[in-house]
Amino acid sequence: MQTLKLVAVSAGLSAPSSTRLLADRLLQAARYRLAEQEFAVDVEVVELRDLAVDIAKNFVTGFPSDALQEAIDKVTGADGVIAVTPVFTASYSGLFKSFFDLIDPTALAGTPVLIGATGGTARHSLVLDHALRPLFAYLRALTIPTAVYAASEDWGTGGDDYTDGLPARITRAGRELADTVAARPARSTEEDEVVPFEQQLADLRFD
């Protein structure tokens, strides 16, 4: 049985936080869908609030702490990523952006990423399209079509005849992430052989 790895990144600052709750719900939906397809699933959550000082120090020193490097490795080594941020000043949080600033611009290329955000009012829902999608487009990630925004009033509501409620949006987004991850080729566990430049020159043959 193939094992897939899902990693959720939560930029919530409080404990507990609605951002972490949304990340957990999305992770659960994707995991459930993959289990239906008979995949084994490893799941982990990276709490950025616990790494805030390490992230700031990295910008000053240029070197990540062991804990920060471990978190970066988890995200860049995942088969699928869930990234959720609270909305601050109509955009993602500074902590969220700072963490992804530390990731190599090619490390998430082709990786399926499900984006989500939380806020006090539904008026901030456009943050998904005007801030988060461009960020992950720059990182060349494969952003899942359905993104999930959860305002305060969304928790505990089932929606209406015209609008899907939060549980339905979470389920749909989780299924899309799971199906995208399942359809991708398995990650290679072998590192590509690095041929020294001198050897490449020596191997050249001229007629």
How much is the pLDDT for 184? 86
Pull the structure tokens for residue 59.
């910008």
Instruction: Return the CATH number at 136.
Output: 3.40.50.360
Confidence of residue 62 (pLDDT cuts 50, 70, 90): very high
pLDDT at 143 over 90: yes
Tens of pLDDT along 179-204? Answer: 999 998 766 544 445 556 566 556 65
What is the arithmetic mean of pLDDT over 9-29?
94
How much is the pLDDT for 78? 97
State phi, psi for 12 to the nearest 5 degrees: -65, 145
Confidence of residue 15 (pLDDT cuts 50, 70, 90): confident
Alpha carbons 136 and 97: distance in angstroms, whole number: 11
Pull the structure tokens for residue 162.
């015209």
Instruction: Report the percentage of the chain scoring pLDDT > 70.
Output: 86
What is the arithmetic mean of pLDDT over 150-171?
76
Alpha carbons 199 and 10: distance in angstroms, whole number: 45
Domain count, the chain: 1
Alpha carbons 191 and 202: distance in angstroms, whole number: 23
How much is the pLDDT for 207? 43
Residues 6+ apart with CB under 8 A from 152: 18, 119, 120, 121
What is the arithmetic mean of pLDDT over 46-50?
97
Confidence of residue 154 (pLDDT cuts 50, 70, 90): confident
* Residue 189: domain span: 3-203
pLDDT at 120 over 90: no
Pull the structure tokens for residue 146.
């359905």
Cβ–Cβ under 8 Å, residues 196 and 170: no
Residues 6+ apart with CB under 8 A from 77: 5, 187
Q: What is the pTM of this model?
A: 0.86
Q: Are strands 112-119 and 40-47 parallel, antiparallel or unpaired?
A: unpaired
Cβ–Cβ under 8 Å, residues 116 and 150: yes
